[in-house]
Structure 1
Amino acid sequence: MDKKLLTIVVPCYNEQEALPLFYQAIIEMEKNGELAPVDLEFVFVDDGSRDNTLEVFRGLSAQDSRIHYVSFSRNFGKEAGIYAGLEKSTGDYVVIMDADLQDPPAMLPEMLSYIGTGEYDCVATRRVDRKGEPPIRSWFARKFYRLMNKISNADIVDGARDYQMMTRKVVDAILAMKEYNRFSKGIFGWVGFRRKWLEFENVERVAGETKWSFWKLFIYAIDGIVAFSTAPLIMASIFGLIMCLVAFIFIIVIIVRTMIFGDPTNGWPSMVCIILLVSGIQLLCMGILGEYLAKTYLETKNRPIYLVQEEK
């Protein structure tokens, strides 16, 4: 019986230090027979790195013919890197991993054992803790996942990683979603299929520094909400309706008060507060509408998700 082919997709941005360690960790597992059920293929994606990541790709590819790589013309983001890696993959199974070893390679045999039974189409992973992260960042992350599950129809699990192993059927379903504004965690949940979750404790980076600042994560969260939920638009409509009712009530109150007590000149501080409140809500609603319009505008351009400078 022929072995299945496992493609390991690794999106990279400035990972020259971590890449050799990642590759060596996988090769050690292969030598020890832990990946015996499958043959391996590597697809590395250089997301416009400014260090020697591409040179590392070339060196590894020269010594191992199973290594393929794609180098972008500039930085297009991890979402584009994941998509490019999935497009270039040819394996029966495909697993997405980070080069910094925060996605433990030791979990690969267990993932293979589950997906090999045919009972599951995807084996996904989630972190059970966030040790090493700033508390405020962890708090916002937990609230984000809770919010997303309430306002969208995508199954997004708290602590979910991009680290997951999929059958070719799942990969093809993801590639069929060619939207420019991509939010992979939402896409993985939206396509469905039979999914097995594995848990692991947080692992520190083996080398280099994280590329995700709090601000970048915040923008990423906003992109996810806009991509998989129209709830903010509904909230904007509700805000508008509430303020109309409040304004109507105030009009009645002012008319009644004037008829009973005359027309005193006091009350301007409360009026200023009301104006500021209403103006703030209007600007918030305009911002929400603008965000959706911006995403629609980008989609209608039909620009490619990424551009390739070099590949092998």
Structure 2
Amino acid sequence: MKKLSIVVPCYNEEESVPLFYPAVEKVVKEMDVSIEYWFVNDGSEDNTLNELRKLHANHPQEVHYVSFSRNFGKESALYAGLQAATGDYVVDMDVDLQDPPEFLPQMYKLLQTGEWDCIGTRRVDRTGEAKIKSFLSDMFYKFINRISNTRIVPGARDYRMMTRQMVDAVLSMREYSRFSKGIFSWVGFRTKYLDYHNIERVAGESDWNTWKLFKYAFDGIADFSQAPLNIAVWIGSTSAFIAIIGFIAVIIRHALNPDAAVFGWASLVSIILLIGGLQLLCIGIIGRYIGKIFLQVKQRPIYIIQEKK
């Protein structure tokens, strides 16, 4: 009998954990597979860890958990869960039940055909979310797919079932700064997406605010595209070219009319401030890439485990 590992990152989800397990069990007990759960407590500040301990105590054979020493982020939690999973197939799910468990039998059946290596999910609408978040999300997918060679399916979720071969390929990518949506696409493999409409959280509130999503999006762009560096080069080259043209114009003007008065002090200061701002922008872009290199070469662990059952 094949084994299915269910990886569940958790951060401040004490209300969702007791609801998640029975909802998923109701579906998977009808499947002809053995099940193991790997919950990853990402340094939660509430009673999530206690709920996981209770769940493990009641189901010691099926339910396991990993608890971090602090909050390392969902990407680290997902990576830890994939490392812990021992199944022939591995699925990543959010504990808030926004990922419909009803898809699990269909995912497994499609993988069994051998035609696919991964069955992912794609959210076709964002009903219930703030319009600004939906707009920024749409713009992000359009932008990154325009500047990156790695295509990311718009609306794609981390909720996907993968073969062991694909999981091992994902785990072989040990970069410190991780953007799973890009990694899943970069490793390749044959992937089919199942569409579904947005589902509200079963309990609690999302920790992902607009600012965190913005930073996460920029990390994704920096991880899978050099376009920002090319933009910095273009800005610098354009500014230098304009400066040279202006310098030549000043020389010609002085040669033709040596007694011409000097005007435009305010506009000159404005131009200097503009150029200075563009330079700082370019330095900031380059600094982001250098920062990622700095973190990678230090070879710090992606996460630290404090407790594991």
TM-score normalised by the chain length of structure 2: 0.97
Shift of 1:259: 3.5
Unaligned ranges ≥5, structure 2:
none
Cα distance in 1 between the residues matched to 2:260 and 2:274: 24
Q: Deviations over 1:224-280 (max 9, x none)?
A: 111111111111111111111111111122223334454322212221221122111
In the alignment, structure 1 residue 57 sits paired with structure 2 residue 52: yes
Q: Secondary structure at the match of 1:162?
A: strand
In the alignment, structure 1 residue 124 sits paired with structure 2 residue 120: yes
Shift of 1:62: 1.2
Q: Which of 207, 212, 215 pairs up with 1:211?
A: 207
Q: Secondary structure at the match of 1:295?
A: helix
Q: Secondary structure at the match of 2:162?
A: strand
Cα distance in 1 between the residues matched to 2:35 and 2:28: 9
User: Is the contact made by 2:28 and 2:104 (CA closer than 8 Å) also made in structure 1?
Assistant: no
Q: Secondary structure at the match of 1:163?
A: strand
The equivalences for 1:46-85 within 5 A come to 46-64=41-59, 65-85=61-81
User: Is the contact made by 2:123 and 2:195 (CA closer than 8 Å) also made in structure 1?
Assistant: yes
Q: Which of 280, 293, 297 pairs up with 2:290?
A: 293
Cα distance in 2 between the residues matched to 1:162 and 1:42: 16
Q: Secondary structure at the match of 1:263?
A: coil
Q: Deviations over 1:169-190 (max 9, x none)?
A: 0000000011111111111110
In the alignment, structure 1 residue 93 sits paired with structure 2 residue 93: no
Cα distance in 1 between the residues matched to 2:131 and 2:266: 39
Cα distance in 2 between the residues matched to 1:164 and 1:294: 31
Tell me the residue number matched to 1:169.
165
Cα distance in 1 between the residues matched to 2:2 and 2:96: 26
In the alignment, structure 1 residue 268 sits paired with structure 2 residue 265: yes
Cα distance in 1 between the residues matched to 2:156 and 2:7: 17
Q: Secondary structure at the match of 2:260?
A: coil
Shift of 1:138: 1.1
Tell me the residue number matched to 1:106.
102
Unaligned ranges ≥5, structure 1:
none
Shift of 1:18: 0.5
Give the counterpart letter for 1:251 in structure 2: F
Q: Secondary structure at the match of 2:192?
A: strand
Q: Which of 251, 265, 270 pairs up with 2:247?
A: 251
In the alignment, structure 1 residue 202 sits paired with structure 2 residue 209: no
**Which of 146-155 and 170-179 deviates more?**
146-155
Tell me the residue number matched to 1:236.
232
Q: Secondary structure at the match of 1:164?
A: strand
Shift of 1:100: 0.2
Give the counterpart letter for 1:47 in structure 2: D
Tell me the residue number matched to 1:23.
21
Tell me the residue number matched to 2:305.
308
Tell me how many residue pairs correspond in the alignment. Answer: 307
TM-score normalised by the chain length of structure 1: 0.96
Q: Secondary structure at the match of 2:96?
A: coil
Shift of 1:147: 1.3
Cα distance in 1 between the residues matched to 2:122 and 2:255: 64
Q: What is the CA RMSD across the aligned residues, in angstroms?
A: 1.1
Tell me the residue number matched to 1:134.
130
Q: Deviations over 1:125-171 (max 9, x none)?
A: 11101111111111111111111112222221111110000000000
